[in-house]
């Protein structure tokens, strides 16, 4: 197996692992946040605007973790800095 194949295999595997593991925690966090917010709304309907606003801000922050994992996986697949290094070594530059 040459170095290009090794880097491609490692990049694809790592990208899949990043998306897989990086999606689990935000999904669980969002589920917990919505569950708690609905429970709070059931107990105090008067505080609905405040709870809803805080919920959406929290969900956006939780979702950013999944987006960062997606960006890292796309960089590993399409803009991997190791490719340029290996190509430069093979061409002798």
Give per-residue pLDDT as tens, 60-75: 999 999 999 999 999 9
Structural domain spans, the chain: 17-91
CATH number of 17-91: 1.20.20.10
Neighbours of 69 (CB within 10 A): 21
Q: What is the pLDDT of residue 13?
A: 93
Question: What H or E segment, with its residue span, contains residue 25?
Answer: helix 3-43
pLDDT band at 86 (very low <50, low <70, confident <90, very high): confident
* Total-model pTM: 0.74
- What pLDDT score was predicted for residue 47? 94
pLDDT in tens, 24-60: 999 999 999 999 999 999 999 999 999 999 999 999 9
Say if residues 50 and 37 touch (Cβ distance below 8 Å): no
How many CB atoms are located within 10 Å of the residue 45 CB?
A: 9
């Amino acid at each position: 197996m040459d170095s290009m194949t090794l880097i491609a295999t490692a990049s694809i595997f790592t990208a899949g692992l990043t998306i897989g593991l990086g999606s689990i925690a935000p999904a669980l966090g969002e589920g917990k946040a919505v569950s708690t917010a609905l429970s709070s709304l059931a107990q105090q309907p008067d505080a609905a605007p405040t709870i809803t606003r805080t919920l959406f801000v929290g969900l956006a922050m939780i979702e950013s973790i999944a987006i960062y994992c997606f960006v890292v996986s796309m960089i590993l697949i399409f803009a991997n800095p190791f490719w340029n290094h290996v190509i430069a070594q093979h061409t002798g530059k």
